[in-house]
Amino acid sequence: MSALSRRDAGRMMLAPVVSSLHAAPAERPWKVLLVVAHPDDEYYFAATAYRIAGELNGIVDQVVITNGEGGYKYSALAERIYGIPLTEESSGRSRLPEIRRRETLAAGRILGIRNHYFFDERDLRFTLSADEALSEIWHCDSVRTRLRQILERERYDFIFTVLPRESTHGHHQAATLLALEAAGQSEEARRPVVLGAEPARAHETELFAGLPGFAASRPAHLQPDFTFDRRQSFGYQDALDYEIVVRWVIAEHKSQGKFQNDAGRHDVERFWRFAAGPRDAAARTAELARQLRRSPSAAAPARNPHHALSA
């Protein structure tokens, strides 16, 4: 089934006339690209990515724009593991890129990520400004070109990005803005839907109105389009949940000491759809949400060849 016809199928499944079980068309796996600034940002949608790659037999690839060298300040606990004085800025900045790449690949094996694309742009420092990365630090023309080439070749259904709030790292904002720009330049028939994600506590109800000054970041709605609950239980005596997988991912990023404290901190992943998107963006997103909502026990068994845990 072509991507286009599958999207049409998704639209049909939402229409009342074909909503019965007998009329449900066959499903084709989703194809998703994660576009993030830093080597551990897959955390924002880790459980959803795992669900898509491992249980819905989808394909998930990941672009990491920076080399992560700026994350040396909290690397003290990893100095003994790697035998390198990582908290010294010069050795941290020179050695962390390779270490963080390996950590990201290990986390990716847990999530079932097929391909990683490391763009190796500089991770200078924490900032709340998207402009610093967009106009000073990153080779944005190169990032744009590479993103466009990957989108053109792979024809993803979705791009997952970090929700670009004013309060989040400026690199996160910049990565999302570049992903939106690249998606917007894809021709309509192969344009991915771009979603912005944010991990949260279930009882928190946050709205998102876009990043001031960047019209492309306007969401379709203030409320999230859907929420994925990391606490959904499954397995023997319902004793397992997706939070376990998220903890594994966090643990792989050992060079990021402070990040380890995020284990157990968020229990849901919320997704906002950006207003700019292909014509079927709402229907496509609703169909993804419907498949994600199905009980884990009803999901197809993991047989994704890219998923290390299915071996």
By the criterion CB under 5 A, which residues form the site for Zn ion?
38, 41
Please say which residue, 114 or 253, places its beta carbon nearer to Zn ion.
253
Q: How far is the CB of 264 from Zn ion (least distance, A)?
A: 19
Distances (CA, A) of 64 to 21, 100, 111, 258: 40, 11, 15, 20
Q: How far is the CB of 281 from Zn ion (least distance, A)?
A: 26
Q: How far is the CB of 178 from Zn ion (least distance, A)?
A: 14
Please say which residue, 30 or 44, places its beta carbon nearer to Zn ion.
44
Please say which residue, 38 or 266, places its beta carbon nearer to Zn ion.
38
Task: For residue 117, give the amino acid letter.
Answer: Y
Helix 242-252 and helix 89-111: axis angle, to 10°? 150
- In three-state secondary structure terms, 28 is coil
Count CB atoms within 10 A of the CB of residue 299.
Answer: 16
Please say which residue, 41 or 267, places its beta carbon nearer to Zn ion.
41
Gap between the Cα atoms of 117 and 195, Å rounded: 19
Residue number of the CB atom closest to Zn ion:
38
Please say which residue, 13 or 65, places its beta carbon nearer to Zn ion.
65
Which residues, at least 6 apart from 99, have a Cβ–Cβ distance to it below 8 Å?
78, 82, 84, 86, 255
Structure tokens at 256: 């990021």
In the chain the first and final C-alpha atoms are separated, in Å, by 27
Q: How far is the CB of 38 from Zn ion (least distance, A)?
A: 3
Q: How far is the CB of 98 from Zn ion (least distance, A)?
A: 18
